Amino acid sequence: MPNLLGDLILYKTQECLIKIFQLSLRFIKLGLEYLNILENEKSVGQLC
């Protein structure tokens, strides 16, 4: 008899980890964009 509950828990855990991973990638991307904006503002400030 296959261990369906164990498989289901494993599947749900993997699904959850993938979502967490995607969210953290999105946060990293947002953070990098924010840093780019700050850098651009600094260089604009130096030009003026």
Domain ranges in the chain? 23-48
Band of residue 1 on the pLDDT scale cut at 50, 70, 90 = low
Task: Give residue-wise pLDDT tens across range 26-40.
Answer: 999 999 999 999 888
What pLDDT, on a 0 to 100 scale, did the predictor assign at position 31? 94
Task: Give residue-wise pLDDT tens across range 10-23.
Answer: 999 999 999 999 99
Q: What are phi and psi of 3, to 5 degrees?
A: -85, 80
Q: How far is residue 46's CA from residue 40's CA, in Å, rounded to a whole number?
A: 10
Task: Give the pTM.
Answer: 0.61
